[in-house]
Amino acid sequence: MKDSVIHLGLAGLGTVGSGLVKIIQENSDWITRRLGKTLKVKTIMVRDLDKPRNVHPSPDTHFTTNMDELLHDPDIDIVVELAGGIDFPRQLITRALSAGKSVVTANKALLAEHGPELFELAAQKNLGLYYEASVAGGIPIIQTLKESLAGNKIKSITGILNGTANFIMSEMSEKGEDFAAVLAKAQAKGYAEADPTLDIEGIDAAHKLVILIRLAYGLDFPMDRLTINGISQVEQFDIALAQEFGYRIKLLAQVREKSGLLHAGVYPALLRQDHILAKVDGPFNSILLDGNAVGPVMLYGQGAGDLPTGSAVLADILALSRTDCPPNNTGFLETRLPLADILAPELTVFRHYFRFTVVDRPGVMASIAGVLGEYNISIAQVVQRQYAPDAGVPIVFLTHSAQMKNAMAALDTIKEFSFVLAPPVHYRII
């Protein structure tokens, strides 16, 4: 990359690829001023050569459906993977690194599932594999953890990492609408995919959390060891009641370190209304972390979209185009990061929100409180709602801190009482 032009080979000209091309076109003078070089998109690989495009790279940009034209072109300095999926980009990135080309990707699903093997290959080849856009779109969290906060031990990270889920939870809170109605609205606005599973079941946020854990702790936390609960079961009733107690329900991705053990998960949880993350509304993302030297740091911004995500991809391209320092992919020297020591989920400690739907008769509240007491769960607040014929009476308990295994055992016991009419509802309180 010693020439005055950095040649890019792009795989994917969809939302993010188009955003990247637009920024390169619009900010080319600015980029040259920073880099002393110009960026040129030499070749773009797509699935369908005949598809109409809403961006027009320079007339000499070559379009192809053949991966080899990215990999075997000696002019191409950096391969930029913006196609999505798993199998195709895994093959493309593996082959690009093997062919001696650094790679930029926005693909969190691929990095969460196959990151270790790809980072190992990049390290063996002494090449860059950069991924700023893979977590929280335009928010520069990767570089922040890898470089700016490298001197800190990170005690915890709590993030709103999925804009679709946050839009849905915000609308449910503000408009009083049910999950299904708000999901349909999110799909109409383009915030949610036709198949929203990855977003609403917490899987997309879990992919991003795995990437953040590697950067913050230098440890690999396998996806299948994460606690993952989505928002598809969240009911308007609990949102409204949480609000009365002074809380909002948000889909949070969280990792906490205690005595060398990590606990990590994605779950809807109650946040106090004055918590800084409770104010993050709509499709926005935010990450709050706690470093042992810096203290709390919060980042906020657009977690998706063509230009915000393209901005993050471009930052990686600029970083890799500066040849004066070796690539820093994971932020740690190990070729393969060690596995995290994981705190068993049942040993985690939270405050809890329980809702029981019960028959309206004397002694019910005392029976439930008795079981909570047996399991060492101390009650902070309790509220019982008006009797609604046939539907039973909702009783909500907010507890002080209690171990998850005690919370689960108490719920298992209580749900067997004959006066309990529906499965209990349970949320963590952060």
Ligand X SMILES: NC(=O)c1ccc[n+]([C@@H]2O[C@H](COP(=O)([O-])OP(=O)(O)OC[C@H]3O[C@@H](n4cnc5c(N)ncnc54)[C@H](OP(=O)(O)O)[C@@H]3O)[C@@H](O)[C@H]2O)c1
Q: What is the DSSP letter of 56?
A: -
String of DSSP letters for 372-395: HHHTT--EEEEEEPPPBTTTBEEE
- Nearest approach in angstroms of CB 230 to ligand X is 18
Query: Does the footprint of ligand X cover residue 84 (CB under 6 A)?
Result: yes
Q: Whole-angstrom Cα distance, residue 160 to residue 167?
A: 11
Tokens standing for residue 143 = 């570089």
Query: Does the footprint of ligand X cover residue 82 (CB under 6 A)?
Result: yes
Query: Does the footprint of ligand X cover residue 138 (CB under 6 A)?
Result: no
Closer to ligand X by Cβ: residue 131 or 247: 131
Residues from 266 through 305 that contact ligand X (CB under 6 A): 304-305
Q: Which among 208, 250, 258, 415 is annotated as catalytic? A: 208
Looking from the CA of 79 toward its CB, the CA atoms found within 13 Å total: 30
**Whether the Cβ atoms of residue 13 and residue 55 lie closer than 8 Å to each other:** yes
In the set 6, 7, 15, 157, which binds ligand X (CB under 6 A)? Answer: 15
Q: Which residue is nearest to ligand X (CB)?
A: 14
In the set 6, 7, 8, 12, which binds ligand X (CB under 6 A)? Answer: 12
In the set 8, 20, 45, 103, which binds ligand X (CB under 6 A)? Answer: 45
Tokens standing for residue 187 = 């799909």
Sign of CA dihedral 220, 223, 228, 232: positive
Q: Whole-angstrom Cα distance, residue 231 to residue 167?
A: 11
**Whether the Cβ atoms of residue 172 and residue 243 lie closer than 8 Å to each other:** no
Q: Is 208 a catalytic residue?
A: yes
Three-state DSSP state, 273: coil
Task: Please state whether beta strands 62-64 and 78-81 pair in parallel, antiparallel, or not at all (unpaired).
Answer: unpaired
Query: Does the footprint of ligand X cover residue 13 (CB under 6 A)?
Result: yes
- Nearest approach in angstroms of CB 405 to ligand X is 36
In the set 103, 106, 368, 414, which binds ligand X (CB under 6 A)? Answer: 106
In the set 71, 133, 226, 253, which binds ligand X (CB under 6 A)? Answer: 133
- Nearest approach in angstroms of CB 188 to ligand X is 17
List interacting residues with ligand X (CB under 6 A). Answer: 11-17, 45-48, 51, 82-85, 88, 106-108, 133, 137, 304-305, 309
